[in-house]
Amino acid sequence: MIHILLVEDDPAIAMSLKVTCKREGWKMTWLDNASSVLPMLRSTEARDLSAIILDVGLPDGDGLSLCQQIRHSTDIDALSDIPIVFLTARSEEVDRILGLEMGGDDYCAKPFSPRELVARLKAIWRREQLLSQQSSSHITTDNTVDDLPPNPMSGQALTFNCQSGVWHYQPLNYSLMWQEQKLELSNTERKILLTLLQAPNQVFSREQLLSAVSDYPDHRLARTIDSHIKSIRKQLATVDASIDVIHTHRGLGYGLCQA
């Protein structure tokens, strides 16, 4: 399900957008202040976020500065590229340009139509999908990524010797162990990590990882992979925070860290 975070202090606007999101079959989380945003993005609740609608004028902060924090915070790296649409009462061109330069993807000037905002979000996702497909095609052409490895969730027990250490997978009880400790992962997270482990020298686009771990990849947003990667990293950090296991290749996707 598409999950939208709305940061807006006007209850009337929030309720209107909530109704519109419900009609689209989307989930919406509403925050009415700036101080709650970063803690929410660091929580498990943000794991499936698809976009942020951010009011520029908030009672306890500046939406533009908050956008910058989201883009550059190292502890929410998986969401640093999430689409952000500004809501602004400012009509000056310089304010709109500043919002885009600060990291926003689009804006809606108040008053606005909720249907227009939905259309703008869908347009952003279409552009992202097109860019990701082009990146995936480029990676394959350059032979950086080969064909996807076999389904890691079937077959016999596996052992992987990687730069990050030794990994053991036991399919009988779906147990994945690293440094002799069992990882507490969801089924999707386990599939993502096993896919990366089976091809340690490859860079996978979001779409390739989604195809490898989902039976219905066309019905899910590729950006949900980012949220799963964030969750995997948190679990790995509980075992050994000094080792970077997964590397983000900006504009391309993910792969295992190499020496």
Per the CB < 8 A criterion, the answer to whether 74 and 65 are in contact is: no
Least confident of 150-154, 182-186, 206-210, 225-229: 150-154
Phi then psi for 137, rounded to 5 degrees? -65, -40
Kindly report the pTM of this predicted structure.
Answer: 0.56
Provide the phi-psi class of 180: left if phi over 0, else alpha when psi is between -120 and 50, else beta. left
Q: Say if residue 101's pLDDT is above 60.
A: yes
Q: CA distances (Å), 152 to each of 121, 158, 208, 235, in order?
A: 34, 9, 14, 20
Q: What is the pLDDT of residue 90?
A: 67
Residue 91's pLDDT band, with cuts at 50, 70 and 90, is low
Q: What is the pLDDT of residue 12?
A: 95
Q: What is the pLDDT of residue 140?
A: 42
Residue 139's pLDDT band, with cuts at 50, 70 and 90, is very low
Q: How many CB atoms lie within 10 A of CB 110?
A: 14
Q: What is the pLDDT of residue 221?
A: 58
Mean pLDDT score of the chain, rounded to an integer?
81
Highest mean pLDDT out of 74-78, 87-91, 228-232: 228-232
CA 103 to CA 198: how far, in whole Å? 35
Q: Say if residue 148's pLDDT is above 70.
A: no
Note the pLDDT tens digit of each residue in 189-243.
888 999 999 888 899 988 888 887 765 444 445 667 887 888 899 899 999 989 9
Q: Say if residue 4's pLDDT is above 90.
A: yes
CA 180 to CA 159: how far, in whole Å? 12
The b/e string for 58-79 (b: 16+ C-beta within 10 A; e otherwise) is beeeebbebbeebbeeeebebb
Residue 131 CB burial class (10 angstroms; 0-12, 13-18, ≥19): exposed
Least confident of 85-94, 139-148, 181-190: 139-148
Q: Say if residue 132's pLDDT is above 70.
A: no
Q: Mean of the pLDDT values across residues 172-192? A: 86
